């Protein structure tokens, strides 16, 4: 239910100040454009549609942690691109299994309007070789 709420809330944002759908939604921003999400959902949902949606919800959750919701019209009028090209051809199970071979998926902030999902060795996390303000990782199981 929580994942459904995250997907509904985030996917209802338009990136245009003052614009919202008739059925509701909030007037906050920035909106997120998750680039390659249709390709990811097409691939991942072939074996586990629920898992694919949980992964997508987690991408939105981590993006919102980087860009907190704001009611300012400047933020409502902003769209942040989240690139998921590195996971677009993977199943949810393959993404979750990365821990088994010592890898983790991170959302890495590139600039004020872009972030990328990237794979990183777990040892980089353990050694602290990343900046906490730039990287957010999910510990939620699928």
Contact 105, 98 (CB under 8 A): yes
The whole-model pTM stands at 0.87
pLDDT tens-digit series, residues 47-106: 999 999 999 999 999 999 999 999 988 888 899 999 999 999 999 888 888 877 788 888
d(CA 129, CA 55): 25
Task: With cut-offs at 50, 70 and 90, classify the pLDDT of residue 129.
Answer: low
Query: Which two tokens mark 93?
Result: 């199970």
């Amino acid at each position: 239910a929580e994942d459904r709420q995250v997907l509904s809330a985030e996917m209802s944002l338009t990136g245009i100040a003052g614009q919202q759908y008739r059925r509701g939604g909030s007037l906050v921003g920035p909106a997120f454009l998750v680039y390659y999400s249709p390709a990811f959902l097409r691939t991942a949902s072939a074996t586990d549609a629920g898992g694919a949606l949980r992964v997508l919800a987690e991408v939105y959750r981590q993006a919102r942690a980087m860009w907190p919701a704001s009611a300012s019209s400047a933020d409502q009028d902003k769209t942040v691109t989240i690139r998921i090209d590195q996971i677009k051809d993977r199943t949810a199970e393959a993404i979750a299994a990365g821990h088994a071979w010592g890898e983790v998926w991170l959302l890495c902030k590139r600039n004020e309007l872009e972030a990328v999902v990237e794979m990183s060795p777990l040892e980089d996390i353990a050694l602290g070789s990343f900046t906490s303000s730039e990287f957010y990782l999910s510990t939620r199981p699928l």
